Structure 1
């Protein structure tokens, strides 16, 4: 199988920016054909020169063959523009943009470049095999100055997504580059893309960013610079607040899960209806916060929209159930002190299970003890299977109880549970503690 190769003198000339080499070509001392040699990856001399930031090599390149090599792609579909964006060479990007504007080619194929009226945008918008434009590449590598140049040259670049459905704005947020994100939002048209992978938008990503924002030393959990991005996004496109991913999660669900109170406040004040959107399982942002142990988020949600406490998931479960399922005793203690939630402590789900039943099913005595500290707790409530919480707990742990040889320890365990739950009688599980 044949493969391309580039003569070492040609490669070295491009990598070092050897202008004498180009002069020899122009003067006829070297064949012009050698400039069309390619490496095994199909990189031509301009790809190589771009990789090593040899701007003068571009400036002195023979005019008669400029366009074909400027438009040529390597095995990954990268043009010299992609390479320049990847290495962050501002001067070379400026030159390439100017070259595209001045292009006088007439044909419209990749060999000779597009028609001159379209050359500028066509070169900037060329996508590689991953459908990344030069803007995608510059954003991913964090080259802010290159992003500015590209956005100034063609603001529509931010509307393109790659094979992974990633927009440049989404990449900027995910990579932790708030300054780049701000630049894109400032210079973008109204139709810019917020899209990302699996339905996740740039706003979803922004509310999850923490102190790893690049270029900043931020002690807080939530990067304040990214909060500015959040505000810019919802101003640019208010409807994005309600966009859901494949799980049915809105940006508010993400903010609740991450514990970003400032983002919660910003989103709800912009559009309070988002607090009532349920995901594919019927979980609200309050459910998510309770499950994840995000007490400060719960406080903010209840303060802003107190009736969200009434929201039920598809199983008929409240935020109190969610706190138990997440095994968050600290949240249970907070709930019992919160009037809006404390009244839900005895509420049963669609199967008749109260939060205490769920705690028992998890064999979590810490959760059960936290719930039992509430004098209003109904410790004898039965579920749809006519089981009390103590029945469930002992049923789940019966094998453990049977294997303990010390009758004294068994008695302590059973009496402890009875005392804890104020159980009115000793349940019959065919255990003879006097053996």
Structure 2
């Protein structure tokens, strides 16, 4: 008995049904795509003779249910389109797989001549009211893709035709406003084409918002002139038109709306934000300035969480907006104001890890670093708590250092708090320390190996330089000294960390701080030793030696700037370390734009 190699496969194949795609006569298809009208007419006639049917029942379709009219329109073959519209007008309303008629394709392409040919056919206004799968008529498509002339032709064909909203809930007026077609908007509002009503379930697709999103001030002015009540509609998130203009950074629109309807500035969205808070959270200084000039009392507005405009900017890390606000004497009372959780702007900038902004705030003498939130925490307490919880990203480290470098205070806490914390230290924290130790130990071992090898190797090789002459060169002395310091520093790091593996948690923290400092010294000395060695080798070619010196010095300075915050982060309780770290820290902040 025969046993199939793959049991069940034949049975499945017998049960499967496969659909064959539509196909069009090759000659007819080729003639249509190439625009050969004589060959097209000949192929079409042959198709009629082959099936012995009248032309009206001989509609051949391509794989996507495209007719010859769809194809001719897509390739803009005007003569073929004209011939079909005259002799075979029933093709005009045929739809492809996406529900598009030929008029949809012509309107989407913005081809005015094709649109004219199709709408002037004698078959149902050329398919003017037909919808595709997206619920768009040809007029929707023309407006959506920004073809004003094609839209004008379609409207003039039947101004009174009723058009409903598409599946996105967008009306013709919305699409015209979005495209910025002032003339079309005026035409629709003076002689409405169908249902462009702003009410009902589609109220969130307001033409006013469309005009704002498209930054079309002329359309906004026209909508205000024709229908001011439409400006009272809100978006799905409860935003009014001023919110929308602010979020877009659309200064001209903000100015117009404040001038025409200043009440917008005093309305909240669903998140409890006023427009001034939206502007602050996005750091839009020009709009903040404009709004405060026109409505100065909005600076007193608070969000649903009791946050002022400075809170909003600090939370989002918009340091330019904060700098502008700090320069305004009338906003001084906002600097240390607390929200519902007791957070000042400094607290929020710390929580969300914006070190550059924290640096700007702590350098302002009016900022009170001692203020605590509802949890009795200062900004430094929050930063240190985040570090202890493992939030050790570079941004968080810089934030913590920016506070420590100016001597920001901690809140007074009961002595039992610290003992409980040490006693119940969790296992994940111990694992993180071990990971740090392993990483630093690996780097220290590599440095020790490299510096040991380079200490036994004379720059340039024994055969090229006389050792006695070499000892007299300053760069060689610098090379040997730095290489020696680097090697012994890395060895001390390795020994310290081996000792830390056996110690208690408090000893481990001290060992890590010491090891990190020594590792920074080892990296710096190794870099200087490398620079001195290379300089010594190429010193006969003066220009090259100077280039090497400049490049090496630049990178060593960069290394120091990046590593100082890492090394001294845990040592900034001491005044000398704070002074040492101050300038490198702020150089890092402004270099990285943190």
Offset at residue 69 of structure 1 (A): 2.1
Out of 3-12 and 372-381, give the one that drifted further: 372-381
Matched, 1:128 2:132: yes
The equivalent residue for 1:152 is 156
Between stretches 139-148 and 198-207, larger displacement belongs to: 198-207
Please point out which of 50, 65, 79 is paired with 1:42: 65
CA contact (8 A) 1:138 1:146 kept: yes
> Does 2:167 correspond to 1:163?
yes
Query: What displacement does 1:297 show?
Result: 0.4
CA contact (8 A) 1:158 1:167 kept: no
Distance 2:162 2:406 in 1: 61
Q: 2:290 aligns with which of 300, 318, 327?
A: 300
Relative distance call for 1:158 and 1:292 in structure 2 (3 A) is farther
Per-residue deviation, residues 316-373 of structure 1 (Å, max 9, x unmatched) = 1111110110112222221122244322222211112221222232344432343344
- Provide the rounded CA distance (Å) in 2 between the counterparts of 1:302 and 1:157: 47
C-alpha distance 385-397 of structure 1, shift in aligned 2 (>3 A)? same
CA-to-aligned-CA distance 1:68-110 (integer Å, 9 cap, x gap): 32222111111121122233332232232222xx55xxxxxxx
Deviation at 1:166, TM superposition (A): 3.1
Residues 55 and 199 (structure 1), Cα distance of their counterparts in 2 relative to 1, 3 Å cut:
same
Q: How far apart are the structure 2 equivalents of 1:424 and 1:163?
A: 58
| 2:382 equivalent to 1:392 | yes
Q: Which is richer in helix?
A: 2
- CA RMSD after TM alignment: 3.9
Report matched runs for 1:85-164 at 5 Å. 85-99=107-121, 102-103=122-123, 119-120=124-125, 123-155=127-159, 160-164=164-168
Question: Does 2:186 match 1:186?
Answer: yes
Quote the offset at 1:125 in angstroms: 1.7
The runs of 5 or more residues in structure 1 that have no matched partner are 104-118, 210-222, 403-411
In 2, are the aligned partners of 1:86 and 1:138 still within 8 Å (CA)? yes
1:199 aligned partner:
204
Who is 2:102 aligned against?
Answer: 80
Change (3 A) 1:98 1:256: same
CA distance in 2, matches of 1:381, 1:131: 58
Structure 2: tracts of 5 or more residues without a match: 1-18, 393-400, 420-505, 511-570, 575-594
Q: How many residues align?
A: 387
Equivalent residue, structure 1, for 2:299 = 309
2:308 aligns with one of 295, 318, 321:
318
TM-score by length of 1: 0.75
Distance in 2, matches of 1:50 and 1:35, equals 19
- CA–CA distance in structure 1, aligned partners of residues 67 and 156 of structure 2: 28
The 5 Å alignment of 1:36-435 reads: 36-61=59-84, 65-66=88-89, 68-99=90-121, 102-103=122-123, 119-120=124-125, 123-155=127-159, 160-171=164-175, 177-178=179-180, 181-189=181-189, 192=196, 199=204, 201-209=206-214, 226-398=216-388, 416-418=405-407, 421=408
Distance change >3 Å, CA 17–CA 235, structure 1 → 2 = farther
In structure 2, distance between residues paired with 1:305 and 1:129: 48
The 1-side partners of 2:175 and 2:269 are apart by 25
Query: 1:45, 1:360 → 2: CA distance?
Result: 66
Q: Is the contact between residue 156 and residue 192 of structure 1 (CA under 8 Å) also seen in structure 2?
A: no
Question: Residues 145 and 363 (structure 1 numbering): CA distance in 2 closer, same or farther, change over 3 Å?
Answer: closer
Q: Secondary structure at the match of 2:105?
A: helix
Is the partner of 2:128 in helix, strand or coil? Answer: helix
The offset of 1:21, in angstroms, is: 5.3
Question: How much has 1:228 moved relative to structure 2?
Answer: 2.0
**3-state SS of paired residue (1:3):** coil
Q: TM-score, normalised by structure 2?
A: 0.57
